[in-house]
Amino acid sequence: MTIQNEADLKGLLAIGRICGLTLQHMIQHVRVGITTEALDDIGAAFLAKHGARSAPILAYEFPGHTCISINDEAAHGIPGSRVIQPGDLVNIDVSAEMNGYWADTGMSVAVEPVAPERRRMIADVQQALEIAIDTARAGQPINAIGRAVETFARQHGYQTIRELGGHGVGRHIHEKPPQAVPNHYERKLTEKLTEGLVITLEPFLTTRARHVKTADDGWTLKTVDGSLSVQCEHTVVITRGRPLLVTAV
């Protein structure tokens, strides 16, 4: 989507704020002993209270209102009976629709007590997102974002997942092309970012893996070698300067 008028911006910011608030509300309830299903129920109730609909259910009939992925699960984890344990890396991905506008946000958090290297991963993926945000400017080639994120990742001892990256959003949860903003350098991806373009920026960092596989449940994407994965995401509107962070609260 590209912002066309003030109504577009207003509608996008409204659903973006709800997604951001839902994510923060869910993070506040992450604790040892809670199931991912109970955490998803908290998110579902918050979305409903604010008049928003779960994007994964609406678009794909996903078996959960949000995606909750743990440790080696990179994305699309199905909420269920799994109990969160000390030291887990928990990723919550919230995407929703309201009045025809869609937004998407996510964050990984560490459950205390947590090993120093896992705590460092959380800080580093947040820094990777900041680097992506700082790089995303109108007139820059899309592959500049992947180059910046991949450079940071390798300098800090991580890999980025080839199959997962940012994407167009705004009028649907995944707008074409589905992986518009990879987190690694793609030489041929020289198309320029344009003012008003709505995309997600979402670095995925892993301790070793560059690829994911689909679990037996048909949804959850796990690292191929069991290595840890973390993610951090905002929906943004591209401008000539710093992007507008749609899902920031």
pLDDT at 176: 78
Select 6-245's CATH number: 3.30.70.100, 3.90.230.10, 3.40.50.620, 3.30.1360.120: 3.90.230.10
First to last CA, the chain: 22
Phi/psi for 207 (5° steps) reads -75, -25
Q: pLDDT tens across 63-102, in order?
A: 999 999 999 999 999 999 999 999 999 999 999 999 999 9
Which has the closest alpha carbon to 37: 77, 69, 84, 79?
79
Tokens of 153: 């990742």
Q: pLDDT tens across 2-44, in order?
A: 999 999 999 999 999 999 999 999 999 999 999 999 999 999 9
Could you tell me if 93 and 104 are in contact, meaning their C-beta atoms sit under 8 angstroms apart? yes
Could you tell me if 110 and 119 are in contact, meaning their C-beta atoms sit under 8 angstroms apart? yes
Give the rounded distance of the alpha carbon of 78 from its chain centre. Answer: 15
Distance, CA of 213 to CA of 223 (rounded, Å): 6
Residue ranges of the domains in the chain? 6-245
Arithmetic mean of pLDDT, 209-227: 98
DSSP one-letter string for 14-37: HHHHHHHHHHHHHHTT--TT-BHH
Q: pLDDT tens across 115-166, in order?
A: 999 999 999 999 999 999 999 999 999 999 999 999 999 999 999 999 999 9
Distance, CA of 33 to CA of 112 (rounded, Å): 12
Arithmetic mean of pLDDT, 47-64: 98
Phi/psi for 155 (5° steps) reads -65, -25
pLDDT at 178: 62
Bridge partner list, 67: 93
Q: pLDDT tens across 169-212, in order?
A: 999 999 976 668 999 999 999 999 999 999 999 999 999 999 99
Distance, CA of 153 to CA of 204 (rounded, Å): 9
Is this prediction's pTM over 0.95?
Answer: yes
pLDDT at 54: 98
